[in-house]
Amino acid sequence: MERSKCSRETGVARGRNGGGNRGGGRRNYSHQQYRSGGERGGWGHQWADPSNVQVAGPTRGGRSGSRVWSEGPIQPQPQPEFQSQTERVQQTFPDMESLEISEQKPPLILPESTEKRIMPMKRPNKGGTLAVRSVGLFANHFPVRFSTESSIMHYDVDIKPHMSPDMQSVNTSIRKSDLRLIVDKLVSDDATRFPNQMIVYDGNKNMLSAVPLPTSQVTVKLFGGDGTEGRSYIVIIKLVNELKYSKLQDYSSGKLPYIPRDILQAIDSVMKENPSRHRICVGRSFYSNKFRAEDDLKFGIAAFRGFQLVLKLTSQGVVLCVDSSVMAFRKSLPVIDFLKEHVRGFEGANDVRELRREVMFALKGLKVTVTHRITNQKYIISGLSDQNAREIAFPLQNAESNDLPRKIGLVEYFRQKYDKEVIYMDIPCLNLGKGNRQNYVPMEFCSLVEGQRYPTDKLGRESGKLLKKISMPSPMERKNAICEMLRADDGPRGNVLQNFGMEVENNMTRLLGRVIGPPKLKLRTSTGEVNAITVDHVKCDWNLVRNSVVEGKPLERWALIDFSKYERNRLNPNAFIPNLIKRCSIRGVLVQQPVVYHYTGMREFYSVAKIRTLLASVVKEANGKCKGGLQLIICVMPEEHQAYNYLKWVSEREIGVLTQCCLAGHANEGKDNFFANLALKINAKLGGSNTELMECFPGFEGEDHVMFVGADVNHPAAASDVRCTSIAAVVATINWPAANRYAARICPQERRKEQIVNFGSMCLDLVNTYARINKVKPKKIVVFRDGVSDGQFDMVLNAELLDLQRAIYTENYRPTITLIVAQKRHMTRLFLENGKNGICNVPPGTVVDTTIVDPSLYDFYLCSHYGTIGTSKPTHYYVLRDEHNFTADQLQKLIYDLCFTFARCTKPVSLVPPVYYADLVAFRGRQYQDVVMELQLPAPVSKSSSLSVTSSSASLSAALLDPKFYKLHPDLENEMFFV
């Protein structure tokens, strides 16, 4: 994980997945799930969107698995010339009015080529050749073999309750869990006609079979369990299609012009059948139903190990991509035992009364099964009874007579009906009913159902650390785990797969990768002279021990707010301030004494109003002491706190002053790395330049101005308030040729909408900003789009790209555009064939553009960072459009070189900076929205005031979509406030 050296600003802990659906299922995966299990609708005539399937067969370009071992000559990386970037640009300064692109310009008629549907570009060649060395690799892609003579029979399954004519008005809906039970009963009752090892059922409307099945109407009786009456169901099976494997061969040979996604989706379902029968299934992941002793996270929670899989179409054919996975689940324990582990202070059942609130919080919404009778039924805990078990009574109707119902106590009922004695009679029961219908069951007869996920963000500090450690095995451990799970009896292989005429190879794909050399970087010596440095040949990092930043901006007017007044871990300002001044100055950032020092406690950090008052008073005091406004406010906190969001919302939107937060503990320790990172962030926020390339970016050796754009959308978590919106963010470089200064724009949009609705207008604003700063508009634009899956490429090309063109194109201005998608949420992992001397992860600069890539689209994998913890994951780049006619070598080197320009690191990052920054900005927008939610939430009202509730809800929804709540202060809109 390269970000160990790329420290973030202290606030609320987050990673790339923090906040909204950066953490709770933020986006569609790059491998797009086929609707599996209960998620799938009817196939064939009701297929999922075909563009969502990222699978298919061999390449038509003649490449094979062995092709990578003879890639042609590997050329040495050319040595860059020692030349200052500022000397390469000759600018002219035209009238600013001629540079501004008006939003009111006449409608643009695009060229005929853009009037047609834009398709992703095809791979222009067989890949790049630039490398300082080659490296033998393994990829977690396992080739799938099958006979072209075989086929899969696809059937539609319609299940209805069997009802007499007088029951036609009764609700006929069937729970999804019962659908699978019904089909299982059908198969077990008639194994001859419905062979279990040759059938795959998706839990909804689709059934696949390796042999023809009878297309008929069958009656199945499903018994409810001990003491309950069974129900009969009618199962109607109809043939939809015969899916032939030969279609894959036809596509590979060019006879079939489209990818046969129906057969591929069927193969994918067959692959998942064996693990779904034996493991806990969560989406595309499958976890063991047992956990290791060392994986116990305590508090009734454990880390369960498993794997995730996806079927992919690559240049070597159809492959199964398998990766290891770890997830936190609640243990499958009796409810009382779970409470003993999970609720602090809970030692036995009698503690339920004193800890009722904590017990309710721990149990509400969980699924349980009952143990007082034999049943497969699962119930959801809706609450606790108001009365204790011995006090609960209800009317009981005698089924054998017409007598009036008699009142019976719950304890007596369980004794008579189930021959069970209720031991804990003086505690509440669990309410397992729905809506207004109560169904009380004593806690001692309830156990948690297995496979109930526990939210990672709710784990305690120690449990979270342990889960993180388990989730990041070394490359060798991960590689071995993947192979073991593939070959396991409950893995994706097995009898079912063989019966469908398929086989998955035991071994990972072996291939050859290329290592691109790092660029030479420009820093300055302590005397201010330009110094070209060569990065470390293994980790590709550098340090500022004998160097300083390229352009340091002096920090002359700043304030220090110390929030540690009443805390045990207080800041020592007499040590911190001199250390900050000295360490920053060594790195080329001259820092003066603070204009204002405000000593207070965290109580001033707990509300927007208090922070607003505090910051306003600090700014006012500073204005009275010096000319010019404050450049920066450094805030030292004793611990991370959610009110960090308040600080950023007020300072960046209202006050217009940059802030930098840090922890008192780190400040007092005074480690050199801490102050080095602090200096980099401060300089970037002030408008300085930390690191630049000595040479121009590959493919842009001329004098034309270039702008790099990054775009991302942050989605709310699935469990968040339904009124929460998605947040779109677009960033763009505003300097050239260094291309390391970015401006950002934030815009809310409809919840869960991936398309950036205002992409064109946001980019127009950024192009105009570039023109105002540089006195010239960019002639070339490279757009990096994050967070979209393969199935959304059409949206990016024919909605977002066209929106961009319509917004910025004029009669006299048509910059060339290259559009690239960056994907991190994929499963492909690369492993060194021969790891030596403790070097297990692939080296920075490793590129793979053969064998495991798409058979026709223009994509490649680039691992640009050095992984110190766990297993490095490469970024998967797709080039959707290229009007600059880059060679493969130029484009790959361009992206790799950009990764060295990230402002707050002294090493290359794993993701191209425009996308990395867009991610940070989108998350900042999520933080703003959290504040708006708190400020706009209506006061509690009575249930009868439904009109008030509706009105308040509509008001909040409108506020969350109002761009003014996300608009930056004019003094900060072009500053890097987000680093």
Q: What is the pLDDT of residues 832-881, one digit of tens each?
A: 998 765 568 999 999 999 999 998 899 999 999 999 899 999 999 999 99
DSSP conformational letter for 902: -
Q: Does 605 map to a domain? A: yes
Higher pLDDT, 366 or 954: 366
Residue 823 confidence (pLDDT) above 50: yes
Q: What is the DSSP string of 758-819?
A: THHHHHHHHHHHHHHHHSS--SEEEEEEES--GGGHHHIIIIIIHHHHHHH-BTTB--EEEE
Per-residue pLDDT band at 173 (split at 50, 70, 90): confident
Residues 441 and 556 in one domain: no
Percent of the chain whose predicted confidence (pLDDT) is above 90: 73
Question: Distance (Å, rounded) from C-alpha 83 to C-alpha 766?
Answer: 29
**If residue 954 lies in a helix (H) or strand (E), which one and from where to where?**
helix 946-960
Q: Specify the residue for token string 């169904």.
A: 439
Task: Classify strands 780-786 and 706-714 as parallel, antiparallel or unpaired.
Answer: parallel
Higher pLDDT, 474 or 163: 474
CB atoms within 10 A of CB 750: 10
Per-residue pLDDT band at 110 (split at 50, 70, 90): low
Residue 573: strand, helix, or coil: helix
Residues 560 and 677 in one domain: yes
Give the Å distances, CA to CA, from 132 to 518, 692, 843: 9, 22, 12
Residues 439 and 558 in one domain: no
Higher pLDDT, 216 or 49: 216
For residue 107, the model assigns a pLDDT of 60
Kindly report each contact of residues 573-578 with a partner whose C-beta sits within 8 Å and lies 24 or more positions away, as own/partner.
Answer: 573/597, 573/599, 575/668, 575/670, 576/636, 576/667, 576/668, 576/670
CB atoms within 10 A of CB 896: 24
Q: What is the DSSP string of 176-231?
A: HHHHHHHHHHHHHHTTTTS-GGGEEE-SSSEEEESS----SEEEEEE---TTS--E
Per-residue buried b or exposed e for 617-651, using 16+ beta carbons within 10 Å of the residue's own CB: ebbeebeeeeeeebbbbbbbbbeebebbbbbbbbb
| Average pLDDT score over residue span 10-27 | 42
Per-residue pLDDT band at 397 (split at 50, 70, 90): confident
Task: Classify strands 383-388 and 428-431 as parallel, antiparallel or unpaired.
Answer: antiparallel
**If residue 370 lies in a helix (H) or strand (E), which one and from where to where?**
strand 367-370
Task: Classify strands 151-161 and 206-209 as parallel, antiparallel or unpaired.
Answer: antiparallel
Residue 436: strand, helix, or coil: coil
Please give the structure tokens belonging to residue 41: 């609708």
Question: Distance (Å, rounded) from C-alpha 48 to C-alpha 35?
Answer: 7
Residues 561 and 680 in one domain: yes
Q: State yes or no: cis peptide before 737, omega within 30 of 0.
A: yes
Domain that holds residue 594: 552-686
CB atoms within 10 A of CB 936: 17
**If residue 111 lies in a helix (H) or strand (E), which one and from where to where?**
none
User: 350 CB contacts (<8 Å, ≥6 apart)?
Assistant: 424, 426, 427
Q: Does 656 map to a domain? A: yes
Please give the structure tokens belonging to residue 300: 């009734």
Residue 80 confidence (pLDDT) above 80: no
Task: Classify strands 692-693 and 446-448 as parallel, antiparallel or unpaired.
Answer: unpaired
Could you tell me which residues are beta bridge partners of residue 846? 515, 863
Q: Is-contact 774 780, C-beta < 8 A?
A: no
Looking at every residue in the chain, the average pLDDT score rounds to: 87
| Average pLDDT score over residue span 603-622 | 95
Q: Specify the residue for token string 């062995």.
A: 66
Higher pLDDT, 249 or 671: 671
| Average pLDDT score over residue span 769-794 | 96
Single out the residue in 654, 686, 718 at which a domain terminates: 686
For residue 120, the model assigns a pLDDT of 95
CATH of the domain at 415: 2.170.260.10
Could you tell me which residues are beta bridge partners of residue 453? 329
Q: Is-contact 405 394, C-beta < 8 A?
A: no
For residue 98, the model assigns a pLDDT of 63
Q: Is-contact 208 200, C-beta < 8 A?
A: yes
Residues 443 and 557 in one domain: no
Give the Å distances, CA to CA, from 542 to 548, 675, 865: 11, 16, 13
| Average pLDDT score over residue span 954-979 | 92
Least confident of 32-41, 421-430, 607-616: 32-41
For residue 101, the model assigns a pLDDT of 79
Per-residue buried b or exposed e for 269-287, using 16+ beta carbons within 10 Å of the residue's own CB: bbbbbbbbeebbbbebbbb
Domain tally, the chain? 2
Residues 444 and 556 in one domain: no
Least confident of 302-316, 728-742, 800-814, 827-841: 827-841
Question: Distance (Å, rounded) from C-alpha 265 to C-alpha 262?
Answer: 5
Q: Does 287 map to a domain? A: no
CB atoms within 10 A of CB 833: 12
Q: Is-contact 771 856, C-beta < 8 A?
A: no
Kindly report each contact of residues 436-442 with a partner whose C-beta sits within 8 Å and lies 24 or more positions away, as own/partner.
Answer: 438/385, 439/379, 440/385, 440/389, 440/392, 440/410, 441/370, 441/372, 441/379, 442/389, 442/410, 442/414
CATH of the domain at 637: 3.40.50.2300
| Average pLDDT score over residue span 120-130 | 93
Q: How far is CA 46 from the centre of its chain?
A: 28
Question: Distance (Å, rounded) from C-alpha 862 to C-alpha 866?
Answer: 12
Q: Is-contact 333 341, C-beta < 8 A?
A: yes
Single out the residue in 686, 708, 739 at which a domain terminates: 686
Least confident of 7-11, 358-362, 680-684, 719-723: 7-11
Question: Distance (Å, rounded) from C-alpha 210 to C-alpha 273?
Answer: 13
Please give the structure tokens belonging to residue 666: 């780190």
Residue 705 confidence (pLDDT) above 70: yes
Q: Does 435 map to a domain? A: yes
Question: Distance (Å, rounded) from C-alpha 872 to C-alpha 911?
Answer: 12
Please give the structure tokens belonging to residue 523: 């820093």
Q: Is-contact 824 289, C-beta < 8 A?
A: no
Higher pLDDT, 877 or 113: 877
For residue 609, the model assigns a pLDDT of 95
Please give the radius of gyration of the chain, using alpha carbons only, rounded to the nearest integer: 31
Torsions phi, psi for 27 (to 5 deg) = -150, 175
Residues 557 and 682 in one domain: yes
Residue 551 confidence (pLDDT) above 80: yes
Single out the residue in 418, 433, 449 at which a domain terminates: 449
The secondary structure of 43-59, three-state, reads CHHHCCCHHHCCCCCCC
Task: Return the closest-CA partner of residue 300 out of 181, 460, 421.
Answer: 460
Q: Does 673 map to a domain? A: yes
Per-residue pLDDT band at 167 (split at 50, 70, 90): low
For residue 447, the model assigns a pLDDT of 98
For residue 76, the model assigns a pLDDT of 37
Q: Does 51 map to a domain? A: no
For residue 13, the model assigns a pLDDT of 42
For residue 948, the model assigns a pLDDT of 52
pLDDT digits (tens, 9 = 90+) for 870-918: 999 999 999 999 999 999 999 999 999 999 999 999 999 999 999 999 9
Please give the structure tokens belonging to residue 518: 């790092």
Higher pLDDT, 114 or 102: 102
Could you tell me which residues are beta bridge partners of residue 747? 728
Q: Specify the residue for token string 């059922």.
A: 201
For residue 951, the model assigns a pLDDT of 63
Task: Return the closest-CA partner of residue 779 out of 724, 706, 672.
Answer: 706
Least confident of 143-147, 186-190, 698-702: 698-702
Q: Is-contact 475 138, C-beta < 8 A?
A: no
Q: Does 642 map to a domain? A: yes
Residues 560 and 442 in one domain: no
Residues 556 and 679 in one domain: yes
Question: Distance (Å, rounded) from C-alpha 876 to C-alpha 790?
Answer: 11
Question: Distance (Å, rounded) from C-alpha 427 to C-alpha 294?
Answer: 34
Please give the structure tokens belonging to residue 34: 């086929």
Please give the structure tokens belonging to residue 335: 């409810």
Residue 420: strand, helix, or coil: coil
Per-residue buried b or exposed e for 348-383, using 16+ beta carbons within 10 Å of the residue's own CB: ebebbeebeebbeebbeebebbbebbebeeebebbe
Q: Does 657 map to a domain? A: yes
